[in-house]
Structure 1
Amino acid sequence: MTSADGTPVRVGVFGLLGSGNLGNDGSLEALLGHLRAAHPEAVVDALCGGPEAVTTRFGIPATRMHWYRGEYRTASRAHAIAGKALGKLVDVFRTAAWVRRHDVVIVPGMGVLEATLPLRPWGFPYSLFLLCASGRLLRTRVALVSVGAATIADRPTRALVRWSARLAAYRSYRDTQSRDAMRTMGVDTARDEVYPDLAFALPAQRASTPADPSDPADPSDPAGTVCVGVMDFHGGNDDRARAEEIYGRYLDATIRFVRALVEEGRAVRLLTGDECDRPVVSAILDAVESPLVTAAEPASLADLMKEMAAADAVMAIRYHNLICALKTGTPVLALSYAAKSDALMTEMGLGAFCHPAREADADRLLEQFRALERRSPELRRTLAERNAEAARRLQHQFDSLTAAVFPAADHAHTPRKAP
């Protein structure tokens, strides 16, 4: 696609990309797949958390989101605090200069309008606000595509998120509750649509000898592998006072769950979704010393899907771990830390198989897991139907995005160069 003057459309992508979170990078991969197929002439680059990783993996130029390189480290010394403060000012001009070089900037998926995990207002919410405000001032369309949202109690964070959404030229959400949350926080969502998470647009990964969903399974057969997706989970913004208690309970329940499977002769494959999850894997391996327990080192959502496609069943906590299992048609039990997980599981027909992560109980987990395996053939058929519907709806999402934000001859503007 080209602008009215014949120059290629410049598309920017924005987010915490290349920073070790497989779900975020999977959303970027899905978007790039669409752009390369539907808009091959578009010139794409990124403003992101890990520019080197994004360029290496996806082959697009990328710029660091923050001027201050210690942005993600806790600032305790005076020079670090001063560096962060100066960085917030410098980022106003850096973000605006980057935005003005584009016709459209896309924030692909991710929970950018929520605070279900610990989050400070001067972190990503501030960066997102700078992006959306710059887009409005410089007449560059900013699109929030299939993003997650949740009602936020903290007033500064709530205000930044609300204004970011208001200033965006296009908004769509990955579930109905996200749209409802933004409406609750004062955003007019009358024209906003709901579509599946962008990760559902990724190519499906299958095991080399996939099971036939119509074949009855023997729930007493202990031979099948179980994938367990883990997370460095300490609760959300409102749980800071009991973060260690929540983590201890979650880890203990997961260890007991894994140990019970091993005692039944089941092979267990531990999976992560972010680099920060590796200590959890180590803790489980130390607690359950058995050759039946192994750990994978996935580098992408495709890697996760390959692992899960080969498994009989999955128990996972990270949102995009759940998506990977659902996408491959593998029955999954969700250790749910936010309402988005419950909504996803309900949408895909597995709403009965959610367990609260903050109140994790190993005995109840095992009970639910065995019920999940007993219904495996039925659930696999359901997932095949729901995945087909998700693919159809995501194609509609991409068509809607093109119509709404890509420059056409009657409303294009020429990309401007930074001063």
Structure 2
Amino acid sequence: MRPKDETPVRVGVFGLLGSGNLGNDGSLEAVLGYLRAEHPEAVVDALCGGPEVVTARYGIPATRLHWYRGEYRTASRAGAVAGKGLGKLVDVVRTAAWVRKHDVVIVPGMGVLEATLPLRPWGFPYSLFLLCASGRLVGTRVALVGVGAAPIGNRPTRTLVRWAARLAAYRSYRDTQSRDAMREMGVDTARDEVYPDLAFALPTPSASAPPSGRPGQVCVGVMDFHGGNDDRARAEGIHRRYLDGTTRFVRALVEDGRPVRLLTGDECDAPVVAAILDAVDSPLVTAAQATSLADLMKETAAADTVVATRYHNLVCALKAGTPTLALSYAAKSDALMARMGLDTFCHPAREVDADQLLAQFRALEKRSAELRRTLAERNLVAVRQLRDQFAELTAALFPATDQARARTHARQEAS
């Protein structure tokens, strides 16, 4: 136990949190749950994309990630370009000053070491590099916890990501492919471990009634998908194929009399929902208004089957124990499905073939009872593995607490 006169450990959390992405916020929620359970004495605050949302939702002080408020708007005028450039310089000082106030900074989950969706090197990769470099400079331990990584083609982005990872004091990954990607980029991963996605540590929604035997609701998770960072030249074509194939699939479900519930995972997905609702125009198709991963889990738990694109839509459905088919846009989705025993139920998001997708969907539903049992078993394993992740994190980042627990345990064994 920490002596009363000892200064509480100061913990910062960092990332694109509170910015509308439910998966990112779910990872934060899982880490906050760990800190409050295992380190209640810790003083926690955030440097993040949406500080007002993080403070209101999670009750911790938060600071805006970027000095320049127009960071994520396209800079077409000279004033905006100058503002962005100045912001990059100011953020060097701001980030270092924030990091210096902490004993530990945690980057909770998220795909912070990948470019599977479009991003610029001077956006978040630059911010992550500043964080890790500042930590090394001022002696603050920076931990990348359960993060995603992938091979990166763009050289500036790859360089920033590689150096950010090298400068971090602790790294763990949400799948083996992520660790392999960092090793291939020149990061020493010999001591880095792989654990399930942090969202598997969140509370599981109460079980819904088992399917009655009659065809029930299907949740379809959609995404404003335009391909990855290397697909910018053909982004619109990829998006049209994705939207057309997904819309045709939803229409086929409706023609079979199936109610369809559309899910999103980020605020930017709303136009895709609107386009499908307009194209199908049926009372059987409705849209969920989820504001957290807990909301998404409840939606997926109430469904017979889920078909989803966004990674954390898949996590929610699998954690809820609902048979799931992935519209896969990156290796992380395939890895997640394989971990949960559903690797044969993946369909490429870049080339959605409605007829083939419908055939896979029907095959999935035929195996529903078997797959629900498989998911129940795999979820128990994931929970145990995340307990190990948090125990390892305590040993790496909170050695005083870990030593105190070891002494207490030894005294109990001796008595």
Give the TM-score taking structure 1 as reference length.
0.94
In structure 1, C-alpha distance between the alignment counterparts of 2:265 and 2:3, rounded to whole Å: 38
Matched, 1:211 2:203: no
**Cα–Cα, structure 1 residues 4 and 236, in superposed 2: closer, same or farther, change >3 Å?**
farther
The answer as to whether partners of 2:394 and 2:401 remain within 8 angstroms in 1 is no
Q: In structure 2, how many angstroms separate the alpha carbons of the residues matched to 1:392 and 1:353?
A: 25
For 2:326 and 2:84, the matched residues in 1 are separated by 37
Per-residue CA deviations over 1:362-395 (Å, capped at 9, x if unaligned) read 0110000000000000000000000000000000
Distance 2:4 2:395 in 1: 15
Contact 2:200 2:382 survives alignment (8 Å) = yes
Alignment correspondent of 1:297: 289
Structure number with the higher helix fraction is 2
Work out the CA distance in 1 between the residues paired with 2:198 and 2:157. Answer: 25
1-structure distance, mates of 2:229, 2:40: 41
**Distance of 1:280 and 1:146 partners within structure 2:** 29
**Separation (CA, whole Å) in 2 of partners of 1:166 and 1:4:** 36
What's the counterpart of residue 86 of structure 2?
Answer: 86
2:154 is aligned with 1:154? yes
| Contact 1:12 1:105 survives alignment (8 Å) | yes
Structure 1, gaps ≥5 residues long? 412-419
Which residue number corresponds to residue 129 of structure 1? Answer: 129
User: 1:146·1:171 contact (CA, 8 Å) conserved in 2?
Assistant: yes
Match for residue 390 of structure 2?
398
SS in 2 for 1:63: strand
1 CA distance for matches of 2:100 and 2:2?
A: 17
RMSD: 1.5
Residue of structure 2 in register with 1:417 after alignment? none
Q: Structure 1: which amino acid aligns with 2:107?
A: V
Residue in 1 that maps onto 2:410: none
Q: What SS class does the counterpart of residue 296 from structure 2 fall into?
A: helix
CA distance in 1, matches of 2:2, 2:52: 28
| Counterparts in 2 of 1:362 and 1:136: CA distance versus 1, 3 Å | same
Shift of 1:133: 0.2
Q: What is the TM-score of this pair, normalised by structure 2?
A: 0.95
Contact 2:264 2:270 in 1 (8 A): yes
Give the residue type in structure 1 aligned to 2:73. R
Partner of residue 338, structure 2: 346
Listed one character per residue, the Cα deviations across residues 80-132 of structure 1 (whole Å, up to 9, x for unaligned) are 00000000000000000000000000000000000000010000000000000
Q: 1:373 and 2:375 equivalent? A: no
Tell me how far apart the structure 1 counterparts of residues 166 and 144 of structure 2 sit (CA, whole Å). Answer: 11
8 A Cα contact 1:144 1:170, kept in partner: yes
Residue 225 of structure 2 is aligned to residue 226 of structure 1: no
The Cα of 1:410 is off from its aligned counterpart by 11
Task: Provide Cα deviations, 1:242-287, integer angstroms capped at 9, x if missing partner.
Answer: 1000000000011000000000000000011000000000000000
Q: Distance in 2 between the 1:106 and 1:301 partners?
A: 20
Which residue pairs with 1:278 in the alignment?
270
Runs of 4+ in 1 over 6 A off after TM superposition: none
Stretches of structure 2 lacking an aligned partner (at least 5 in a row): 404-415
SS in structure 2 at match of 1:408: helix
Deviation at 1:54, TM superposition (A): 0.2
Aligned ranges for residues 10-409 of structure 1 at < 5 Å?
Answer: 10-207=10-207, 209-211=208-210, 218=213, 221-222=214-215, 224-408=216-400
Is the Cα–Cα contact under 8 Å of residues 225 and 266 in structure 1 kept in the other structure?
yes
Do 1:13 and 1:105's aligned partners in 2 also have CA atoms closer than 8 Å?
yes
Cα deviation for residue 206 of structure 1 reads 2.8
Provide the rounded CA distance (Å) in 1 between the counterparts of 2:117 and 2:256: 34
1:211 positional shift: 1.3
1:2–1:9 Cα contact (<8 Å) kept: no
* One-letter code aligned to 2:12: G
* Secondary structure of the corresponding residue to residue 206 of structure 2: coil
Whether the aligned pair in 1 keeps the contact of 2:121 and 2:160 (CA below 8 Å) is yes
Amino acid at match of 1:134: S
Q: Alignment partner of 1:67: what SS?
A: coil
Q: Per the alignment, in what secondary structure is the counterpart of residue 315 of structure 1?
A: strand
Higher relative contact order (CA 8 A, sep 6+): 1
Structure 1 residue 404: Cα displacement: 0.5
Check whether the contact 2:113–2:147 (CA below 8 A) recurs between aligned residues: yes
Residue in 2 that maps onto 1:415: none
Following superposition, the deviation at residue 408 of structure 1 comes to 2.4
Distance (whole Å) between structure 1 residues aligned to residue 328 and residue 316 of structure 2: 15
Please report how far the alpha carbon of residue 4 of structure 1 lies from its aligned counterpart in structure 2 after TM superposition.
11
CA gap of 1:410–1:394, structure 2 versus 1, over 3 A, is: closer
C-alpha contact (below 8 Å) 1:3/1:408 kept by paired residues:
no
